Amino acid sequence: MLNTSYYELENGQKLEILTPGFHNTDAGPDFLNARIRLDGTTWAGNIEIHTSATDWYKHKHQQDLKYDNIILHVVYEDDVPIKRNNEELITTLCVKNCFDEKLFSRYKELLASSLWIPCEKNLSGINQNLMNIWKEKLVVARLQKKSEEIEKVLLNNKNDWSQTFYEFLFRNFGFKINAIAFEMLAKSLPISYLAKHKDSLFQTEALLFGQAGFLNDTLKDEYPRALLKEYKFLKQKFSVNPINHSLWNLLRLRPYNFPQIRIAQLASLLHNSSVSFSKVIEAENVEFLSDMFSVECSDYWRTHYLFDKESPTKNCSLGKSSIENIIINTIVPFLFAYGTLKNEFSYKDRALTFLENLSVEKNHIIRNWDERGIIAKTAWDSQALIALKNSYCSNKKCLDCMMGDAILRS
């Protein structure tokens, strides 16, 4: 909102902001490694920003050594002089008269809003072209963030793409409520171990259910008891230990989403070799990926949701919405991450194309946007709107939002 980098301070000093440095999103000063020129002398250090100068003391910065290297204090209200621990005054820039007061008034209204979206009363006036440009930036930023998460795990796995993909795929199968448990299951049982027995669905299930902690001596049905016997042999062979059974959560889950069913589906996928990292990155369209995940569970799970508890006969293959959820949240980010790290734009472009060809996600965030007249038509739209709500609207980062900026300036 500032129109110049040159200012004359109230004490008559001439201030030039050479570079504001970079925005610090962690604890400490707001901007790091800044450079300013004060009456011809260049200073390097950090910049802190407050609404009122007294916020410095309210936030107890005077007790924090990280703030001793502040070279400029930018405030709206310069109501008290600020000093370092050595009693030296910190240069203060008051910006109260540097921009249109109406902007600040509108911004305060947005900050004080208790609405689901702070600016929702003004959404109807947003230019559609601006909205589309912003949504594209949001989708790319969301995928870049996920790519960074993938890269961290990839480095930990010594650049093993298959193991890393396997861990993220398992996490996705747990959806939100059992994501951590599935991730721990994957880490407790490397994909290389499962690959040795993928030709046998029985042994694959034995390894997965055993490592998940679902096999024990209290089981009564013949099938799980056979799995337990096989698991005891495989457990000794690979020197592995199961994860804690208490990690699994069945509360408020529909039976079809029980972790036992999800593990059975994973076992079938691994057994059929239908899903692998090499096949995923070469997939040319959404239809191919959907077929890849269309596998049936073993016969036992067609009549059970849990061990020892029979249920009506059912189709226990993954449904369309579950498959699309996996493509959106695992396959698309992996394609984008692979393209980023390999510097191959075609993979990143394909990831975005997949989102444009997938159905819009159904969740409370998208329903709320829909109620406010912002309609998502594809997964590309829904991913953008989820990012907008979670990263900007919920945190009231209106100044960083293209829509918020347009509303403030309107």
User: What's the maximum distance between 2 C-alpha atoms anywhere in the chain?
Assistant: 89
**b/e per residue, 280-310, with b = 16+ CB within 10 A?**
bbebeebeebbebbebebbebbbebbbbeee
Do 196 and 61 belong together in one domain?
A: no
Position 342 in a domain: no
Rounded Cα distance, 182 and 288, in Å: 25
Do 170 and 309 belong together in one domain?
A: yes
Cβ-based neighbour number of residue 360 at 10 Å: 18
Q: Which tens digits make up the pLDDT trace of 199-238?
A: 999 999 999 999 999 999 999 999 999 999 999 999 999 9
Strands 22-23 and 31-38: antiparallel
Q: Which tens digits make up the pLDDT trace of 295-318?
A: 889 999 999 999 999 999 999 989
Strands 92-94 and 70-77: parallel
Q: Based on the structure, what is the number of domains in the chain?
A: 2
- The set of long-range contacts for 53-56, using a CB threshold of 8 Å and a minimum separation of 24, is 53/77, 53/78, 53/79, 53/80, 53/81, 53/82, 53/92, 54/79, 54/80, 56/82
Domain final position from 66, 83, 99: 99
Do 178 and 310 belong together in one domain?
A: yes
Position 362 in a domain: no
Do 197 and 66 belong together in one domain?
A: no
Do 183 and 91 belong together in one domain?
A: no
Position 253 in a domain: yes
Please report the pLDDT score of residue 274 as a whole number.
67
Rounded Cα distance, 282 and 289, in Å: 10
List C-alpha distances in Å: 364 to 141, 147, 346, 367: 22, 25, 33, 5
Q: Which tens digits make up the pLDDT trace of 176-197?
A: 899 999 999 999 999 999 999 9
Q: What's 94-134 look like in SS3?
A: ECCCCCCHHHHHHHHHHHHCCCCCCCHHHHHHCCHHHHHHH
**b/e per residue, 124-137, with b = 16+ CB within 10 A?**
eebeeeebeebbee
User: pTM for the full model?
Assistant: 0.82
Please report the pLDDT score of residue 327 as a whole number.
96
List C-alpha distances in Å: 328 to 311, 316, 322: 31, 21, 10
Position 335 in a domain: no
Please classify residue 32 by burial: count the beta carbons closer than 10 Å to its beta carbon, then call 0-12 exposed, 13-18 middle and 19+ buried.
middle
- Residue 65's pLDDT band (cuts 50, 70, 90): confident
Q: What is the mean pLDDT of residues 275-297?
A: 90
Do 211 and 83 belong together in one domain?
A: no
Place of tokens 């480095």: 155
- Residue 104's pLDDT band (cuts 50, 70, 90): confident
pLDDT over 70 (residue 409) = yes
Cα-only R_g, the chain? 28
By residue range, what is the domain housing residue 247? Answer: 159-329
Position 397 in a domain: no
Rounded Cα distance, 62 and 281, in Å: 53
Q: For residue 286, what are its two tokens?
A: 């959404």
Do 195 and 325 belong together in one domain?
A: yes
Q: H/E element holding 223?
A: helix 222-238
Position 359 in a domain: no
- Residue 4's pLDDT band (cuts 50, 70, 90): low
Rounded Cα distance, 307 and 221, in Å: 7
Please report the pLDDT score of residue 268 as a whole number.
94
Averaged pLDDT score across all residues of the chain? 93
Rounded Cα distance, 410 and 406, in Å: 6
Do 199 and 95 belong together in one domain?
A: no
Domain final position from 99, 117, 139: 99
Domain final position from 329, 348, 372: 329
Position 402 in a domain: no
Q: For residue 281, what are its two tokens?
A: 């990155």
